[in-house]
Amino acid sequence: MRADLQPRTSPRRALAQVEAFVRQAVPYEWDWVTWGAADYLPTLSEMLALRPVREDCDGRAVAAASMLQKLGYDARLVTDLKHVWVWTPQGETMGPGGRKFVESDQRGTRLNWAALTATPANLAYGIAAFPWTRELIVLLTFWLLLLRRAPRWPWALLGLAVLLDGWLIFRLACRNPWPAGLWDSVGALLGWGHVAAAVLIILGTGERRRSRFPHP
């Protein structure tokens, strides 16, 4: 790769060439397929040990940042909690995402708390992208754990229906991997609203306590 970059190669062209090389050399694959985990940030050596080499946006960003650092660039990993890409003073590469929440380099990690406003939509995307069969198991387990002793089943089932409705909203309305637009934000708010309502309904389904005082 270094041989492909001439001494007078512009930073913009260098960033583009590194991105093109990484995208070709590292096919995209979800972490739950590659590592068996919902999300995993590998080291470069871990990624290169894979056969075949494959990774999602964070692993590709690690590879691109490592290459750019070898070429003399101040390359940093940044994320908006939905996507991971590479920042340099000369520009960004690996598909720049939305407002940066985390910036990481050899000097440490910095947080931009103002970017948390996009968190509901970004977390909703994670739910939308994860395998639905595994999520359904997690959702049903979550529902069972919320149930109180001797629940009132009509209300418990209503809570489950509302919870499923919120989950479907996430999966249908929040699948956009790029910076959240109006539809993503509205879908995320509706989805989280359904989840909150479902939790309140389910928690209110427990057996009513009898009053210690007799009714007149």
Phi, psi of 148 (to 5 degrees): -95, 175
Could you tell me if 82 and 169 lie in one domain? no
DSSP 60-79: HHHHHHHHHHHTT---EEEE
Given a contact cutoff of 8 angstroms between Cβ atoms, the answer to whether 22 and 63 are in contact is yes
pLDDT tens per residue, the chain (216 residues)?
Answer: 554 655 567 888 999 999 999 999 999 999 999 999 889 999 999 999 999 999 999 999 999 999 999 999 999 999 887 889 999 999 999 988 777 777 776 677 777 776 777 778 888 888 988 999 999 999 999 999 999 888 889 999 999 999 999 999 999 988 877 666 777 788 899 999 999 999 999 998 765 544 454 555
- Positive or negative: CA dihedral 3, 6, 7, 12: negative
pTM equals: 0.74
Which strands sit side by side in the sheet containing 91-93, from one edge to the other? 91-93, 84-88, 76-79, 102-105, 108-111
- So what's the pLDDT on residue 209? 46
Same domain, 96 and 123: no
The predicted pLDDT at position 3 comes to 46
Q: Which burial class, exposed, middle or buried, applies to 145 when counting CB atoms under 10 A from its CB (0-12, 13-18, 19+)?
A: exposed
Whether 209 is covered by a domain: the verdict is no
Q: Which residue, of 79, 111, 143, is where some domain finishes?
A: 111
Cα atoms in the 13 Å half-sphere on the side-chain side of 33: 12
The parent domain of residue 84 ranges over 2-111
- The answer on 174 and 104 residing in a single domain is no
Are residues 33 and 103 part of one domain? Answer: yes
Instruction: State the DSSP H helix or E strand holding residue 2, giving kind and residue range, or none if neither.
Output: none
Let me know whether 30 and 102 are in one domain.
yes
What are the structure tokens assigned to 131, written together?
Answer: 């395998």
Listed residue (108, 87, 107) closest to 99, CA to CA = 87
Q: Examine the domain organization and report whether 45 and 90 are in the same domain.
A: yes
Q: Is residue 208 part of a domain?
A: no
Q: CA nearest 155: which of 143, 167, 138?
A: 143
Residue 31 sits in the same domain as residue 49: yes
Which amino acid does the sequence have at 196? A
Judge if 12 and 86 occupy the same domain.
yes
Helix axes 153-173, 182-203, angle to 10 degrees: 170
Number of domains in the chain: 2
Let me know whether 79 and 142 are in one domain.
no
